[in-house]
Amino acid sequence: MRQKQAFIPTMREIPADAEAISHQLLVKGGYIRQLTAGVYSFLPLGRRVLRSIEAIVREEIDRTGAQEVLLPALQPADLWQQSGRYEVYGPELVRLQDRSGREFALGPTHEEVITQLVAGEISTYRKLPVTLYQVQTKFRDERRPRFGLLRCREFVMKDAYSFDTDWEGLDMTYHAMYDAYHRIFERCGLQFRAVEADAGSIGGEGGTHEFMAIAESGEDDVVTCSCCTYAANMEKAISLETVKLSSGDGDVSAIVREKALLEQFHTPGLRTIEELTNGLGISSAELIKTLLYLADGKPVAVLVRGDHSINETKVLNALGAITLELADSETVKRVTGAGTGFAGPVGLTVPLLVDYEVSIMPTAIAGANMTDYHSRNVVPGRDFALAQVGDFRNVQEGDTCPSCTEGKLTIIRGIEIGHVFKLGTKYSEKLGAQFINSAGESLPMIMGCYGIGVSRLLSAIIEQNHDDAGMIWPASIAPYTVHLIPVAHQDAAQMEAAERLYAELTAAGIQVLLDDREERLGVKLKDSDLIGIPLRVVIGKGIAEGMVEWKKRSSSEPAERIAISEVLASVNAHIAGS
Amino acid sequence: MRQKQAFIPTMREIPADAEAISHQLLVKGGYIRQLTAGVYSFLPLGRRVLRSIEAIVREEIDRTGAQEVLLPALQPADLWQQSGRYEVYGPELVRLQDRSGREFALGPTHEEVITQLVAGEISTYRKLPVTLYQVQTKFRDERRPRFGLLRCREFVMKDAYSFDTDWEGLDMTYHAMYDAYHRIFERCGLQFRAVEADAGSIGGEGGTHEFMAIAESGEDDVVTCSCCTYAANMEKAISLETVKLSSGDGDVSAIVREKALLEQFHTPGLRTIEELTNGLGISSAELIKTLLYLADGKPVAVLVRGDHSINETKVLNALGAITLELADSETVKRVTGAGTGFAGPVGLTVPLLVDYEVSIMPTAIAGANMTDYHSRNVVPGRDFALAQVGDFRNVQEGDTCPSCTEGKLTIIRGIEIGHVFKLGTKYSEKLGAQFINSAGESLPMIMGCYGIGVSRLLSAIIEQNHDDAGMIWPASIAPYTVHLIPVAHQDAAQMEAAERLYAELTAAGIQVLLDDREERLGVKLKDSDLIGIPLRVVIGKGIAEGMVEWKKRSSSEPAERIAISEVLASVNAHIAGS
């Protein structure tokens, strides 16, 4: 492609609204443009990268034996009502009516459509297992779309769905997909971790892993061990301490509880943990943090130690609830009789969810359910019931690894780029995907689902592959492999050499961008670094001796002088080695 | 692919609701399944064909220098309001609100998005011309979706948009695209015609061509000449007779008009042209047909000769109106004072659009605007005004060709598979796509747009390539090139030979479907004919002598015996020759 004709609208300024570096670079480099919040157009460079990623995804998913389909975005609401997700999905599900007033959803995912499809076509074990996938546009009305392609309302996803006759079959399919994901992300040049994850609202009975690209800008916390391979996302991660408590290890009855009686004391204006520790000169581990939630609209109180944070996913799972939100101040007032910041477990009539670590506190300080008052000598089990004790907290740095039991847990940031999920029979039961086994019995198919955020990958890759000057694409998915830059467009010898090399490389099947613009060299090099093509060949005065300047975008070494006759071989060597 | 694992749910029955043969075969052959009216899932075979078509489209459009992008389906309503199409598009435009109540449309086409995009990025002639295209899913809430993939509510389209500095540039871009379309449709094995078309509601000042696949089941009438290359769609086609009248050729004043006075006569129950010609024993060419329409809500009357039919597109264009619909019976009653079937031009106070051929009638019979009465001796120009005379009728078989002026026009049926369109400045003016030319003047860009119904092509190709047994795919887009069928799955020699041949062909890059199912040969052959893979190799007892049966799906000749060692060469020869 000749750059004069190419639609690559690079910018000099950093777009005002772009927080994440990948978002900034994609806009600056002319890869994407926002149409409206969370909705982007892919310009030619962005489309090229997206197509390369799609091709890698297809190749590796095809290798698992999965077959490609293309399912509709327009989905009848009644199908979602059948699965029970029409209400549950909430405002993230884009809803609309057709001209006759019939309700539809725009697919955020395709469990319903694919399960109904397979239910209608397969009825015997002889035609199982089968795995179907697509690369398709999804719609989710995110509450807060941001970070460019990382959190969008319209995005490209690869989603696969497997149907097996038994759990052993699902295990095999799951692992084949798990391995394919490793190959895909490796080929995309990503540093990533497969982490244990929580099943979440999608439901399902089996295991699930998330694939996380390691990146500062990630929205997810990934918990890893300093010694072993343990890795889990924050929703799922558990510390050895909690494992021991949950297994009844250690004699809780041996804890020497405080004997002194509960008493209230005046704590005017001390609402937060920080205000309390500063104001009272105590450690946060001596406090009980009591937060009121509405779970499916009903108030509950969750208790964790003052130095811990609540893990809402664990609370949701323990309650079997669909929605969970912090109670508003009016509800707090109604339930506790006090202003926000003074809730405590003593005397509350709503269900109390008590974290293991709270349950073993000999004594604690907690809110008194009276504005500007706290209680001391609060003894778990004496002053409030331990009816529902469980793991309701996030692990924190320094907790012990539950796997090797020795390492310390570390928390790093990650971007979710894929997930694999054992769904089991949740959808097959609701949508009637039954099969007859070899014994003549009718059973629900055992399903798995497997997603990759294809357009999100662009951002994740840039988050890991950039410098101050711009993007640094791995050759496998770069929009072009070689950027060919004559120094002076008015120099006939340079332009001729550039054209000859362009023809030679292109004929060899190499993707080349030739900068034939009437711009100064500085502008050309700045654009080149910004858009991040892996190999740069500058043709300047040295061409009189047949020499050009060769530079890898990823290298901080200065450009090398090589013979123009060696360029093709060097390019091929680079592609083969990358 | 081994057929045992392949998801190819063929059926024996013809689906009840499928009218078009392509619709029947796509469903029977397991290529597509309907999710809801006008919304289809592409199963693996359908997806494979779609991907092959997409690849051909991309290759040929890339060759024109156009660059691929990917634009959003979710489009803010205010963008459509800016172009003036939000209301005009009517109920076909799918509308929705996001979680905050903001209005959106689901893109049925992308003029607005692309024009706004280019307007924001290009401001100088130096960066023009540029042509951008995408292969993307479109949404149109068709009033009557039908014929499978021929008229859908969700479908895959290739749409391209060009931006030039002047009309000469647009002409060049337009012709490059026109030529690319010829190559695309030829490579898809289609018989088609490029026909002159009407600009329609998309607007624009320049020319437009539609590409029509010739097919009985087509919804469009294509007008061609028996002698020359003239071809136009019905909306646009004009007869030599009309051309002459419109150019004032022939002395209209020389017509000897009837002298006798207008008189009414009793015609009880004679409402239609047929009832009148039968009841009165006259020819339909002696009648004036008067139809009342609501144009943008206001009543108008259109007059054509009784043997002609009204061309609503021509009426719309003459009026410069946006909507045109037949008046309901209440409006007819109010305007004419009579029941439906008795409208006539005499005494009507609404605007009269008089077809040329009516204007030259010496005398005629017409409705009397009184129930059960008609008028005779109706003289145009005497009894009603000839204020707005024009071409308001469809051409008909036997009219004379306006191009060669000798041939007779013929009407055949076609499926619109593509169009190319000179938009001019309609969108660039409304959405501010201006550029500075070399003289420093600011001018609107000159646009073109170019569409191909990618998913519709599947159906069009089948309409032209099938027999009673099923589909017959051209090798260029077939889901597989070779169907390999061992006669007896329990015969080890046959299965081994099949597996060896499968490995040999696959290694050579040929797409092979191996029927390893435990089915009778009859079932296998029936399925094979149905799904229409171009080459079939049956491995039976002959394998003892190294022989197999070779058959082309497109040939009615019986299968040939060839050596298994010759299969690869024969397959390659077929691909090269097709």
What ipTM does the predicted assembly reach?
0.92
Kindly state whether residue B399 falls inside one of the protein's structural domains. Answer: no
Bridging pattern class, strands B39-42 and B560-563 = unpaired
Task: Quote the pLDDT of residue B255.
Answer: 84
Same domain, A328 and A439: no
Q: Domain containing A219: what range?
A: 47-238+411-463
In tens, the pLDDT along A396-444 reads 999 999 999 999 999 999 999 999 999 999 999 999 999 999 999 999 9
Distance from CA of A4 to the nearest CA of B (A): 7
Q: Which residues of B touch A132 (CB under 8 A)?
A: 7, 44
Q: Which CATH number belongs to the domain containing residue A450 in this structure? A: 3.30.930.10
Same domain, A344 and A422: no
Spatial separation of the C-alpha atoms in residues A186 and A275, rounded to whole Å: 47
Distance from CA of B463 to the nearest CA of A (A): 22
DSSP 8-state code for residue B58: H
Kindly state whether residue A404 falls inside one of the protein's structural domains. Answer: no
Spatial separation of the C-alpha atoms in residues A36 and B312, rounded to whole Å: 38
Question: Mean pLDDT for chain A?
Answer: 94
**pLDDT average, residue stretch A302-313:** 96
Spatial separation of the C-alpha atoms in residues B270 and B266, rounded to whole Å: 9
Same domain, B187 and B57: yes
DSSP 8-state code for residue B14: P
Substitution target from A3, A40, A41 for chain B, most B beta carbons within 10 A? A41
Q: Mark yes or no for CB contact A68/B47 under 8 Å.
A: yes
Distance from CA of A362 to the nearest CA of B (A): 48
Same domain, B556 and B425: no
Q: Mark yes or no for CB contact B72/A47 under 8 Å.
A: no
Q: Mark yes or no for CB contact B9/A95 under 8 Å.
A: no
Radius of gyration of chain A from Cα atoms?
A: 29
Same domain, A100 and A125: yes
**pLDDT average, residue stretch A329-343:** 94
Kindly state whether residue B86 falls inside one of the protein's structural domains. Answer: yes
Substitution target from B5, B7, B57, B458 for chain A, most A beta carbons within 10 A? B7
Amino acid making up residue B29: G
Q: Mark yes or no for CB contact A7/B67 under 8 Å.
A: yes
Kindly state whether residue A403 falls inside one of the protein's structural domains. Answer: no
How many domains in chain B?
A: 3
Closest CA to A67 of A117, A21, A112: A117
Nearest to A96 among B40, B67, B96 (CB): B96
Task: Quote the pLDDT of residue A322.
Answer: 82
Nearest to B41 among A40, A50, A72 (CB): A72
Same domain, B446 and B491: no
The nearest alpha carbon in chain A to B139 belongs to: A74
Nearest to B73 among A9, A117, A137 (CB): A137
Task: Quote the pLDDT of residue A328.
Answer: 94
Question: Are the beta carbons of A461 and A24 closer than 8 angstroms?
Answer: no
In tens, the pLDDT along A516-537 reads 999 999 999 999 999 999 999 9
Same domain, B232 and B253: no
Nearest to A44 among B67, B122, B143 (CB): B67
Distance from CA of A170 to the nearest CA of B (A): 16
Same domain, A257 and A383: yes
Task: Quote the pLDDT of residue A259.
Answer: 87
Q: How confident is the model at residue A321 (pLDDT cuts 50, 70, 90)?
A: confident
Same domain, B88 and B234: yes
- pLDDT at A114 > cutoff 80: yes
Q: Which residues of B touch A9 (CB under 8 A)?
A: 121-122
Task: Quote the pLDDT of residue B14.
Answer: 84
**pLDDT average, residue stretch A330-356:** 95
**pLDDT average, residue stretch A11-28:** 92
Q: How many helices (H) and strands (E) does chain B have?
A: 16, 31
The nearest alpha carbon in chain B to A79 belongs to: B35
Kindly state whether residue A487 falls inside one of the protein's structural domains. Answer: yes
Task: Quote the pLDDT of residue B256.
Answer: 84
In tens, the pLDDT along B398-451 reads 999 999 999 999 999 999 999 999 999 999 999 999 999 999 999 999 999 999
From B428, B463, B498, give the residue that closes a domain: B463
Spatial separation of the C-alpha atoms in residues B480 and B534, rounded to whole Å: 8
In tens, the pLDDT along B216-247 reads 889 899 999 999 999 999 999 999 999 999 88
Spatial separation of the C-alpha atoms in residues A475 and B451, rounded to whole Å: 33
Task: Quote the pLDDT of residue B535.
Answer: 98
Amino acid making up residue B575: I
Radius of gyration of chain B from Cα atoms?
A: 29
Same domain, B229 and B265: no
Distance from CA of B567 to the nearest CA of A (A): 26
Q: Mark yes or no for CB contact A74/B40 under 8 Å.
A: no
- pLDDT at B205 > cutoff 70: no
Diameter of chain B by CA atoms? 95
From A357, A390, A423, give the residue that closes a domain: A390
Spatial separation of the C-alpha atoms in residues A237 and A308, rounded to whole Å: 14
Spatial separation of the C-alpha atoms in residues B103 and B97, rounded to whole Å: 5
The nearest alpha carbon in chain A to B42 belongs to: A70
Q: Which position has the token pair 């080149």?
A: A528
b/e per residue A233-262 (b: at least 16 CB within 10 A) = bbbbbbbbbbbebeeeeeeeeeeeebeeeb
Task: Quote the pLDDT of residue B177.
Answer: 97
Helix, strand, or coil (residue B450): strand
- pLDDT at A125 > cutoff 60: yes
Q: Mark yes or no for CB contact A41/B96 under 8 Å.
A: no
Kindly state whether residue A26 falls inside one of the protein's structural domains. Answer: no
Substitution target from A8, A54, A58, A69 for chain B, most B beta carbons within 10 A? A69
Spatial separation of the C-alpha atoms in residues B54 and A327, rounded to whole Å: 52
Same domain, A101 and A228: yes
In tens, the pLDDT along B518-558 reads 999 999 999 999 999 999 999 999 999 999 999 999 999 99
- pLDDT at B130 > cutoff 80: yes
- For B68, list phi and psi in degrees, rounded to 5: -80, 140
Spatial separation of the C-alpha atoms in residues A276 and A268, rounded to whole Å: 10
Q: Which residues of B touch A149 (CB under 8 A)?
A: none
Distance from CA of A178 to the nearest CA of B (A): 20
Q: Which residues of A touch B51 (CB under 8 A)?
A: 68
Distance from CA of A206 to the nearest CA of B (A): 25
Nearest to A113 among B41, B72, B122 (CB): B41
Distance from CA of B211 to the nearest CA of A (A): 26
Helix, strand, or coil (residue A347): coil
Nearest to A72 among B35, B76, B98 (CB): B35
- pLDDT at A556 > cutoff 70: yes
Spatial separation of the C-alpha atoms in residues B133 and A41, rounded to whole Å: 12
Spatial separation of the C-alpha atoms in residues A286 and A283, rounded to whole Å: 6
Task: Quote the pLDDT of residue B200.
Answer: 60
Q: Mark yes or no for CB contact A40/B121 under 8 Å.
A: no
In tens, the pLDDT along B292-351 reads 999 999 999 999 999 999 999 999 989 988 889 999 999 999 999 999 999 999 999 999
Task: Quote the pLDDT of residue A200.
Answer: 60
Kindly state whether residue A327 falls inside one of the protein's structural domains. Answer: yes
Nearest to A50 among B41, B51, B70 (CB): B70
Considering chain B, what percentage of its residues have pLDDT values greater than 70?
98
Same domain, B341 and B441: no
Considering chain A, what percentage of its residues have pLDDT values greater than 90?
90
- For B101, list phi and psi in degrees, rounded to 5: 85, 5
Task: Quote the pLDDT of residue B348.
Answer: 94
The nearest alpha carbon in chain A to B63 belongs to: A1
Closest CA to A348 of A264, A290, A261: A290
Task: Quote the pLDDT of residue B252.
Answer: 72
CA distances A146 to A38, B75, B336, Å, are: 6, 18, 61
Q: Which CATH number belongs to the domain containing residue B547 in this structure? A: 3.40.50.800
Q: Mark yes or no for CB contact A65/B132 under 8 Å.
A: no
Q: Mark yes or no for CB contact B36/A122 under 8 Å.
A: no
Distance from CA of A77 to the nearest CA of B (A): 11
Task: Quote the pLDDT of residue B253.
Answer: 74
Q: Mark yes or no for CB contact B98/A153 under 8 Å.
A: yes
**pLDDT average, residue stretch A541-562:** 96
Kindly state whether residue B100 falls inside one of the protein's structural domains. Answer: yes
**pLDDT average, residue stretch A309-318:** 93
From B359, B390, B421, give the residue that closes a domain: B390
Q: Which residues of A touch B94 (CB under 8 A)?
A: 96, 98
- The structure's pTM equals 0.92
